[in-house]
Structure 1
Amino acid sequence: MTCPVTGGGIPPGPELFTREFVADPYPAYAHLRAHAPVHRTTLPSGVEAWLVTRYADARQALADQRLSKDPRHSEAAWKQGKVGVPGEQRSGVGAHLLNLDPPDHTRLRRLVSKAFTPRRAEDFRPRVQELTDRFIDGFAASGEADLIHDFAFPLPIYAICDLLGVPEEDQDDFRTWAGMMIRHGSGPRGGVARAVRHMRTYLRELIHRKRGDLGDDLISGLIRASDHGEHLTEDEAAAMAFILLFAGFETTVNLIGNGLRTLLAHPGARAALQREPDERIGPAVEELLRYDGPVELATWRFTTCATPIGGVVIPAGEPVLVVLASADRDAERFAEPDKLDLSRADNPHLAFGHGIHYCIGAPLARLEGQIAITTLLRRLPDLELADPDAELRWRGGLIMRGLQRLPVRFTPEPAAKPGPEPTPPAPAK
């Protein structure tokens, strides 16, 4: 289904949700910001929703408590589970931070924050570097790679599995389930639903096993977390592990993939980053998040009462989608918003949201993006698109924005020489 940006006296503009729109949604969003900044449209799923496209309105909506995250405030299609993550509510993993309002959200966020801290993410830096080098080692000698399949996808899934405490022998299963969720996100619902069920069953079993043998991983931290003596229930812990796994890994896949694609399209900016990677990578990743971020629209919200946004009163019970990709290209907030400026200093982008639902995994995503991009450009300095004239395809979907593939070529790294045989351990006495 395609939806022309017309109606209500709005000049005709680019159509929404076409193949061309998915490849480059920014002209359509610019038209909406100019002519219909709060716009009601019919989504490809058939659900009608309001799109909020200007920065100031988006920031207000993201923090407005009249906009609920609880699908029970939504229209009948949502209550029947016909949209959203298929099977999420029925599977028992729907009671997570993205679907809750205060006071339940406040309680769970406080509990989870005790286990998932910026310090924990920073302590994970050596492991992220180790995984990054391992995946680059897998293709560096070949002279070509698909940076999504070979790099941007496996790195965050194995990193989040390590952080959660998923045993190494089970992590390939998580890669398979995560792949099903990404591949079928806008396609056959059965693939996503099966992946959700597999993850739910596994996470509940893992939490049950860990209760008797707590370690230093995030799931053990979730189990330990308490607030005035109140612990997470097993279902709550499973739901939280699920959303940290799913949201955490796909956001980072797209951050790395979109960021590398943007740098390949801007050789001057990329060369400046390669000259001074340590000094430039922090603001560079923030600009890549703003310019073509991993999350196109914030997750669903629903009006609990008639709510004015941007001069439009949205009736109660209506779905609202805050368009982060549009807000972060708003000239009212960002100078030359369509220009990539890796040294941009004033950059309060909304790529990770705003307000009480600000992404709790943002420190880890930033860390992985910084390490992945600087390491890849250092090791493969002449990286380029395998076919500069080929059209890159984007995964269909509504919330996330990410590439299907990113084929590249480069001068192969010399194969590593085998090191000396390790010294065998001394016999036990």
Structure 2
Amino acid sequence: MRSAPTTSADLTDPAFVADPYPLLDELRAAGPVVRQDSGRWLVLDHAGVSRLLRERALGRVWRDREPTDALEPFNLLHRHQMMENEPPDHTRLRRPVAAAFNRGHVERLRPRVRSLAASLLDEAVASGPSFDVVAAYAEPLPVLVIAELLGVPSSYAPSLRDWSQAIVRMYEHAPSPAVVDAAVAAAEDFAGLVTELAAERRRTPPEDRPADLLSDLVATELSDVEVVASAVLLLNAGHEASVNVFGNGLVGLLRAGLRPAADVAVTVEEMLRFDSALQLFERTATAPVDLGGGLVAEPGDTVALLLGAANRDPAVFADPATLDPARSPNPHVAFGAGVHFCLGAPLARMELTESLTLLFERHPDLALADEPTPRGTFVLRGFNAVPVSLGVESPR
């Protein structure tokens, strides 16, 4: 068995978090698979990440965060989420959600997305020629959309944003006690709201239920806790992915002085690739797994698939460090692959295309007004604030 290149690289180092790509390029050049001193495998090439995302002997093995009792609200949601389970449980949890998505909910929402985006943009520009495009536009839009998709009243949108951000901070390395406490409180409040709304749906005769995803879910064989976990996952994933892809991609465009291609959907794919919102997806070997090149992960080994590194693999993408708004084809892995391929990908793509189109139709001279403020996290990479100036507004 061949030995792997090893690294002592610290993926929590602030310099790395600020710009991970030089080190990821260096590690990939050392070998498509390297091993950290901790024993965790890092897979960095596009071919390896694509293949291992589909590898059935690599699973998502949920382990309750300790101390278990204190973190039970957080653990309970994750224990019953499709993302943290493998077939057959994953299949059982995913099937009803996928079926509900396939009933046309996403396309039904397209006119509503356009309307919400227009209203948010009107509000953002009303106070002057510059604003924070994340806080005023990119962040509230997907929360409002996913809330409407599920049937959560829009009055809860600010709380949904806060809860989501608190929960996902737990996915970073070694969260602080304050982060843990906030995540537990958010999970408890989030689950409480969805439990109440689901109970209302169950009390309502099927023919009188609203046409939303939550109504579809309570009509399935999923248990109460599984319905809640599925709804919370959709709200979290639907919010975080869209916000961070929009912010990261927009900053890339504006720093380079670029504009979307004529086919904005093509530019959205490049935004997904260029500065991936989800950088790392961990799986655990349940049997010996061929990592390639004679390297084998043994049962129990953790394998980190570095999506951002795969999306800048020069073996697949010409000039990968350059954002090309018209790049096509674009076989990025930003949404994953295999059984854990992102269920909300069609919704995210639609939201991003509609919101980006409207922003540049109205404000073709958009520019950065100040240096963006990064979130300072690696697993979920994004910006807390992106100040922009508008230039001259185009006729509507």
TM-score clears 0.5: yes
Q: Is this contact kept in 1: 2:366–2:388, CA < 8 A?
A: yes
Amino acid at match of 1:236: E
Work out which of the two has the higher radius of gyration on C-alpha atoms and give 1 or 2. Answer: 1
Q: What is the aligned partner in structure 2 of residue 232 from structure 1? A: 222
Shift of 1:258: 1.0
Using the alignment, how far apart are the partners of 1:375 and 1:403 within structure 2?
21
Pairwise CA distance, 1:50: 2.0
Count of aligned pairs: 381
1:129 pairs with one of 114, 124, 127: 114
Greater per-residue helix proportion: 2
**Corresponding residue of 2:16:** 21
One-letter amino acid of the counterpart of residue 36, structure 1: G
Among residues 88, 100, 111, which one is paired with 2:96 in the alignment?
Answer: 111
Q: Does 1:50 pair with 2:47?
A: no
| TM norm structure 2 | 0.89
Distance 1:79 1:382 in 2: 49
Q: Please state whether the residue corresponding to 1:302 is helix, strand or coil.
A: strand
SS state of the match for residue 404, structure 1? strand
CA distance in 2, matches of 1:92, 1:343: 40
Task: Read off the aligned partner of 1:244 and give its amino acid letter.
Answer: L
Cα RMSD (Å): 2.6
8 A contact 1:93–1:200 mirrored in 2: no
CA contact (8 A) 2:9 2:36 kept: no
Whether 2:232 is the aligned partner of 1:249: answer no
Residue 55 of structure 2 aligns with an amino acid whose one-letter code is D
Amino acid at match of 2:129: G
Match of 2:148 in 1: 162
Cα distance, 1:165 vs structure 2? 0.1
1-structure distance, mates of 2:72, 2:266: 38
* Superposition pairs of residues 13-412 of structure 1, within 5 angstroms: 16-41=11-36, 49-71=40-62, 78-81=63-66, 87=72, 90-117=75-102, 119-141=104-126, 142-181=128-167, 186=172, 187=176, 188-213=179-204, 214-225=209-220, 231-267=221-257, 269-270=258-259, 273=261, 276=262, 280-298=263-281, 300-311=282-293, 312-387=295-370, 390=371, 392-411=372-391
Paired with 2:15 and 2:273, the residues of 1 have a C-alpha distance of 21
Structure 2: give runs of 5+ residues left out of the alignment.
Answer: none
- Structure 1 residue ranges without an equivalent (≥5): 1-6, 72-77, 226-230, 417-429
Q: Please list the CA deviations of residues 178-228 of structure 1 after superposition, one character each: whole Å capped at 9, or x if unmatched.
A: 343467765521111211111111111111111123210110111223xxx
Aligned residue identity for 1:252:
S
When residues 339 and 90 of structure 1 are mapped into structure 2, their CA distance, relative to the original with a 3 A threshold, is closer
CA shift digits 1:61-110 (9 cap, x unpaired):
10101111122xxxxxx444479xx6565334531110111111112222
Which residue identity does 2:89 align to in structure 1?
Answer: D
Give the deviation of 1:333 after TM superposition: 1.7
Cα separation, 1, equivalents of 2:89 and 2:169: 32
1:335-378 deviations in whole A, cap 9, x for unaligned?
Answer: 22222222222211100001111000000000111111111111
Distance across 1 between alignment mates of 2:103 and 2:379: 25
Aligned residue runs from structure 1 range 409-428, under 5 A: 409-411=389-391
